[in-house]
Amino acid sequence: MTKRPARKNFDPAARGPLNGVRVVDLSRLVAGNVLTLQLADFGAEVIKIEPPEGDTLRSWRVKGIETAWKVNSRNKKSVALDLRSEAGRDIVRRLAATAQILVESFRPGVLEQMGLSPDALHALNPRLVIVRISGWGQDGRYRHKPGFGTLIEGYSGFASMNGFADREPVLPPMYLADAIAALYGYGAVMVALREVEINGGKGQTLDLPLFDPLFSVLGPQAANHKLTGEVKERTGSRSTNAAPRNVYRTKDGHWVCLSASTQGMAERVLVKIGRPELVEDPRFATNIERVRNGLELDRIIGGFIAERDLAENLRFFDEAGVTIGPVYDISQIVQDDYVLEREALIETPDAEMDGLPTHPVVPRLSGTPGALRHAAPRIGEHNEALLRPLLGDAEYEAQCAAGVISRGTKSKGASKK
């Protein structure tokens, strides 16, 4: 196989398809940062407005290094402003007047208290697309409740579906609700931007709670409940829709995941493991019966896999045309030939880490690809370049002296080990 040429880790001169789009990012933590990362990776100028101490995401450190910030804030610019001051809020207004998109994640009502309501911003810039991220949305009885992703992952039904029936519900070990909301929001921003730029429409406000996107990706849970009146118990790694599908332990102590979600694939598994008679067995003859008898089916398949080591299982099922793969942890992923060959993991220049392992721009576009143009910024790194031309020399210096514009305060935060 011919290996594709290695991509540049950084290309400062790259011009993505969103070149010319300015984004003012007032958000904090994850959802807003992941949303604007997608825009930045494809060429938008994302101006991250940080408080003088920096975005809270900077405090998620490992051995003192802001890894979460570095991964989610590349290609962005940082301006450090004190938004508690009217002068700081006025600078936001002036930046918003030059932008196409504004993203915020304050609790509903806070933007209005700051004099930065959508109506006020649209009076300055009628074409502005405003994204409002919150836990529960801009209306409804919970709109003023705190809305961290953990609460949403519990409230949405996700945790109740996740884990094993005889154990407690399981929350995800990463920021799932935030990331899903961010990707929904990214798509919605592109729709709203198209309305403005192609259809000649006006700017609008996007109400993006964390709840709605996560609840939507859980599928037909409400419809199924209406039909059956049942609340399905947790099934671990088994699927409630198809069988066999699970993780199985190998002879040498590794794990594999196997999925046979079609009738033909399920029959092939049974034949290949030497149990062709089970194809006609009423317990396993149809998908509905295989799901119903999933525990027994897993015992049979798991017993076969447990007699062979990882490499032997992968080879056997691959040759049989059955979908199987190893269950990797991060130490295995970073060394996997597939991951390295596709450059699904790259290292970018970083003074603190001597190379930062991270994902490339996703997805890959053949004609107008995104690019990594520069590393995540320091707090207030772009104050001078962005605000001095906007304010003029005298006002810029005055606001710096007044503490409205920070001169690059070092971020604070406990190390996260």
Residues 6 or more apart in contact with residue 118 via CB below 8 angstroms: 111, 130, 132, 205
User: Residue 48 and residue 210: Cα distance in Å, rounded?
Assistant: 21
Cβ atoms of 289 and 282 within 8 Å: the answer is yes
**Amino acid in the structure at residue 132:** R
User: Residue 243 and residue 235: Cα distance in Å, rounded?
Assistant: 12
Q: Give Rg (Cα) of the chain.
A: 25
User: Residue 254 and residue 403: Cα distance in Å, rounded?
Assistant: 56
Residue 352: exposure state from Cβ atoms within 10 A (0-12, 13-18, ≥19): exposed
| Average pLDDT for 393-402 | 97
Two tokens, residue 261: 């979600």
User: Residue 104 and residue 107: Cα distance in Å, rounded?
Assistant: 9
User: Residue 417 and residue 180: Cα distance in Å, rounded?
Assistant: 25
pLDDT at 6: 52
Percent of residues, the chain, with pLDDT higher than 70? 96
Residues 6 or more apart in contact with residue 99 via CB below 8 angstroms: 22, 23, 24, 47, 125, 128
Query: Band of the pLDDT at 7, cuts 50, 70, 90?
Result: low
Average pLDDT value for the chain: 94
The number of residues in the chain equals 417
Question: Looking at the predicted structure, is the pLDDT value of residue 412 above 70?
Answer: no
Question: Looking at the predicted structure, is the pLDDT value of residue 194 above 90?
Answer: yes
Question: Looking at the predicted structure, is the pLDDT value of residue 99 above 50?
Answer: yes
Backbone angle region of 196, left / alpha / beta, with phi > 0 → left and psi within -120 to 50 → alpha: alpha
Give pTM, 2 decimals: 0.92
pLDDT in tens, 47-84: 999 999 999 999 999 999 999 999 999 999 999 999 99
Single out the residue of 144, 190, 162 nearest to residue 18, CA to CA: 190
DSSP for 329-357, written as a single string: -HHHHTT-HHHHHTTSSEEE--TTTTSEE
Domains contained in the chain, CATH given: 22-218+343-402 (3.40.50.10540), 245-333 (3.30.1540.10)
pLDDT at 200: 84
Residue 138: exposure state from Cβ atoms within 10 A (0-12, 13-18, ≥19): middle
Query: Band of the pLDDT at 295, cuts 50, 70, 90?
Result: very high
Two tokens, residue 358: 């991270």
DSSP for 375-403, written as a single string: PPPPTTTTHHHHHHHHH-HHHHHHHHHHT
pLDDT at 199: 84
Cβ atoms of 202 and 128 within 8 Å: the answer is no
pLDDT at 416: 37
pLDDT at 415: 38
Task: List the catalytic residues.
Answer: 178
pLDDT at 351: 85
pLDDT in tens, 352-370: 998 999 999 999 999 999 9
